[in-house]
């Protein structure tokens, strides 16, 4: 039996429902899918948030950032006063939301990959992955076109989302999720999605691997999301989250964080028991943990993650005791 990783939870980092952001009507609740990009003087954390829902109860989602103290990952230095990207215009794939977002630095340019949301009639939404760039240090981004860089295709027909961008050996890797089916649970349409991967030489022209990276564990219709990968100790480590297809908005079927490892990024061995982090006995992450993001910083490995209600009350951080 393999030994579990040991994570020490440091606590919540940011809660938009408790923080004052003057004039920021576009951020009322949720701080979802944290993605950390180190700078010389701070750590910039991109996340997605929501204003109050409209009169029909519909949400939109924006992405923004905050900066953390490099020596204290729970000390917020600054919260941006604007989204990093505008929503798309009428009829575009990202008209109603930009969530989640994943940012990487490429020399002096920062590139963002994000899921754009459109509303549907038969099901609540559909998503595809767009790309944008920043030349002002990652404060604002410009879309590289009005359409997605990774759209849905005949073999991936809907819900192309959850991008996590990484570079290994001078090659770009985009881990993402692809929809498999919609199911109806208590009269509500719910998506089932699996983890996939695409590769690129330039980060713009992508080749899809075309297969699910992970087997299902808890049920065939298990939904998997937020695959983040780092290289350590001679192999690749993936932390991701998964949930049941039905009744997943509470503790019993809600998101949990899983783990897998690989030597070639194509073939993965899933070992969720080794993940080493789960819900707390009480508090902000007592019902679910999800959307993990890995950061190697000053000799330590950190895990940023969401708590209850998929980040309605923000995100927290844990530090690994030992090494991967």
Per-residue pLDDT, averaged over 300-312, amounts to: 96
pLDDT in tens, 239-297: 999 999 998 888 888 999 999 999 999 999 999 999 999 999 999 999 999 999 999 99
Q: Is the dihedral of CA 221, 222, 225, 228 positive or negative?
A: negative
pLDDT in tens, 114-157: 999 999 999 999 999 999 999 999 999 999 999 999 999 999 99
Domains of the chain in sequence order = 6-321 (2.115.10.20)
d(CA 198, CA 179): 15
Residue % of the chain over a pLDDT of 90 = 89
Question: Of residues 272 and 53, which shows the higher confidence score?
Answer: 272
Lowest-pLDDT choice from 22-31, 73-82, 108-117: 22-31
Per-residue pLDDT, averaged over 81-107, amounts to: 96
What phi and psi, each to the nearest 5 degrees, are found at residue 281?
-65, -35
Buried b / exposed e over 187-203, threshold 16 CB at 10 Å, is: eeebbbbbbbbbebeeb
pLDDT at res. 53: 84
**pLDDT confidence tier of residue 54, bands split at 50, 70 and 90:** confident
């Amino acid at each position: 039996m393999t030994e579990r990783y040991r994570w020490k939870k440091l606590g919540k980092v940011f809660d938009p429902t408790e923080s004052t952001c003057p004039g920021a009507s576009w951020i009322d609740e949720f701080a979802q899918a944290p993605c950390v990009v180190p700078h010389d003087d701070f750590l910039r954390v991109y996340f997605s948030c929501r204003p109050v829902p409209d009169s029909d109860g519909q949400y939109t989602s924006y992405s923004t950032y905050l900066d953390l103290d490099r020596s204290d990952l729970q000390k917020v230095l600054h919260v941006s006063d604007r989204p990093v990207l505008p929503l798309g215009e009428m009829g575009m794939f990202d008209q109603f939301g930009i969530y989640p977002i994943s940012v990487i630095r490429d020399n002096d340019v920062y590139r963002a990959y994000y899921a754009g949301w459109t509303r549907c009639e038969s099901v609540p939404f559909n998503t595809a992955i767009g790309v944008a760039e920043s030349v002002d240090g990652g404060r604002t981004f410009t879309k590289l076109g009005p359409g997605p860089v990774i759209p849905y295709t005949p073999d991936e027909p809907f819900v192309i989302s959850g991008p996590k961008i990484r570079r290994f050996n001078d090659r770009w890797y985009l881990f993402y999720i692809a929809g498999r089916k919609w199911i109806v649970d208590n009269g509500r349409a719910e998506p089932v999605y699996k983890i996939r991967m695409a590769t690129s030489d330039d980060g713009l022209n992508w080749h899809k691997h075309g297969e699910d990276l992970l087997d299902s564990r808890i049920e065939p219709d298990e939904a998997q999301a937020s695959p983040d990968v780092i290289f350590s100790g001679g192999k690749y480590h993936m932390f991701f989250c998964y949930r049941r297809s039905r009744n997943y908005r509470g503790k019993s079927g809600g998101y949990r964080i899983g783990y897998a490892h690989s030597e070639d990024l194509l073939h993965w061995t899933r070992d969720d028991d080794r993940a080493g982090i789960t819900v707390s006995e009480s508090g902000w992450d007592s019902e679910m943990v999800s959307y993990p993001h890995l950061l190697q910083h000053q000799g330590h490995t950190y895990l940023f993650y969401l708590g209850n209600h998929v980040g309605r009350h923000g995100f927290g951080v844990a530090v690994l005791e030992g090494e991967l």
